[in-house]
Structure 1
């Protein structure tokens, strides 16, 4: 629910300002204006193997290429030629780095240590056109999309609507924004029941037991705000398996070296040469489009890592140097004392 993430402003003002920001960014052909030059060589003493000097030389050559030259080189190597200059440059650098490290003893990182699956979550929640500062959002759509990191494909999905209890009547603004009707939530189960089925779905996939996995969101609000608030309202202990996740906005900005204004969902898609598929603010469609971005980043050589967590109810950053640890096996939700 992008229009309500990362802000406590009224929903109508938030939605308008973010959409305007996205349109301005994506319609502007100067999306490439923020190109940041990467060092052409590693710092002295950082790497001893000669392969890193070769990588640095290749990076320097790539930095000097025009967009047409980058696209031509990608085509020559049978790589995706879509995307803005930042994306094409990063794609080529990742390709050359991977190729050179594969032929060198300096290669590091074991693919067996990475996640087998990434589970994308993008909740939809109740909202008003003018949310008061103390407004409590209730989750009304619980979607999950599962990415197989070995095949780089979406392999399954889960979706259920949720009956709100605190504000059972949806606002007209919420219905128009999300496409979720009053009938849908009236016929849905409570959050506690839906969460139990979501956990059962994850367990059947053997996530956290046979397979290593983690969650991925578009921003901090899904876990840090919506899920945490909903668990309190439903008197449920916050699930341990959802305490760490990948915020793809941070990952995208860091990987492609772009500012935050280019990490909105629509802008990320357009910068990668893709269009939104489906209905915006439908949780399942949003999740699928976020998954498409994640898959594209993995193909470009990005190692998506957990970068946010909840610690004592507070949102915290997870350093890039932290070991890659999968989420624990999902457990049946427990009631709070």
Structure 2
């Protein structure tokens, strides 16, 4: 995949230069979907087990890379998160993510996992940590979780960038899913799609490829 907008790439490189470390993040959340075959007015009447505005984070995957060392992997953080509003996973959610009920039944809550993530990042904060995800969903979901619980967001929303948006700008292409973008960049997908830590690892690979593109 060829860089079509070098000025956009330079802008991305300028943004990441604001901190030594970049945390590549992917979340999974409680979810449900409409049965196949429903027409529009039937969807309006159908009650999802997990309404879109009640989705909760159930997995956090994060990969930290050192931008001053050419994007070298520094460490990984992964944790399940126990949901509150809808503690039972839907069949759709389990099939999509491969996360099982037992995984979240034994997990810590959002506030506890946020503390664990901050402890993981603590040695690197002095030299600066920014974070990215594929799209704005992850940033918005962490904010929604925090607002619902009356606590601080797990990650600073002001230190976030959507690599999905940057990818579309740099390569002058349509916005696409992470797996499609990885393939377009010649990267082999590793792990299970829609699992937080695996998606975060693949996101880190995409970031590394983009930042070193000519």
Q: Do the structures match in fold with TM over 0.5?
A: yes
* Aligned CA-pair RMSD: 2.5
Residue of structure 1 in register with 2:145 after alignment: 230
Residue of structure 2 in register with 1:241 after alignment: 156
Gaps of 5+ in 2: 35-47
How far the C-alpha of 1:142 sits from its partner, in A, is 1.4
In 2, the alpha carbon distance for the partners of 1:242 and 1:186 equals: 28
How far the C-alpha of 1:215 sits from its partner, in A, is 0.5
Residue of structure 1 in register with 2:30 after alignment: 126
* 8 Å CA contact retained: 2:182, 2:206: yes
How far the C-alpha of 1:112 sits from its partner, in A, is 11
How far the C-alpha of 1:165 sits from its partner, in A, is 1.1
Give runs of aligned pairs for residues 5-84 of structure 1, distance below 5 A: 84=1
Residue of structure 1 in register with 2:108 after alignment: 189
SS state at 2:150 partner: coil
Residue of structure 2 in register with 1:295 after alignment: 208
Residue of structure 2 in register with 1:254 after alignment: 169
Q: Relative contact order: is structure 1 or structure 2 higher (C-alpha 8 Å, sep ≥ 6)?
A: 2
Residue of structure 1 in register with 2:195 after alignment: 282
Q: Structure 1 residues 112, 299: closer, same or farther in 2, change over 3 A?
A: closer
Q: Structure 1 residues 270, 197: closer, same or farther in 2, change over 3 A?
A: same
Which structure has more strand as a fraction of its residues?
2
Q: Structure 1 residues 111, 221: closer, same or farther in 2, change over 3 A?
A: closer
Q: Structure 1 residues 112, 192: closer, same or farther in 2, change over 3 A?
A: closer
Match of 1:143 among 47, 52, 61: 61
Residue of structure 2 in register with 1:166 after alignment: 85
In 2, the alpha carbon distance for the partners of 1:120 and 1:137 equals: 21
1:117 pairs with 2:21: yes
* 8 Å CA contact retained: 2:31, 2:51: no
In 1, the alpha carbon distance for the partners of 2:15 and 2:149 equals: 39
Number of aligned residue pairs: give it.
195
Residue of structure 2 in register with 1:155 after alignment: 74
How far the C-alpha of 1:286 sits from its partner, in A, is 0.3
How far the C-alpha of 1:134 sits from its partner, in A, is 5.1
Q: Structure 1 residues 272, 233: closer, same or farther in 2, change over 3 A?
A: same
How far the C-alpha of 1:216 sits from its partner, in A, is 0.5
In 1, the alpha carbon distance for the partners of 2:160 and 2:18 equals: 14
1:177 pairs with 2:96: yes
* 8 Å CA contact retained: 2:61, 2:199: no
SS state at 2:76 partner: strand
Gaps of 5+ in 1: 1-83, 99-108, 302-337
Q: Deviations over 1:197-237 (max 9, x none)?
A: 1111111x231x2x12211110001012x111111222213
Residue of structure 1 in register with 2:120 after alignment: 201
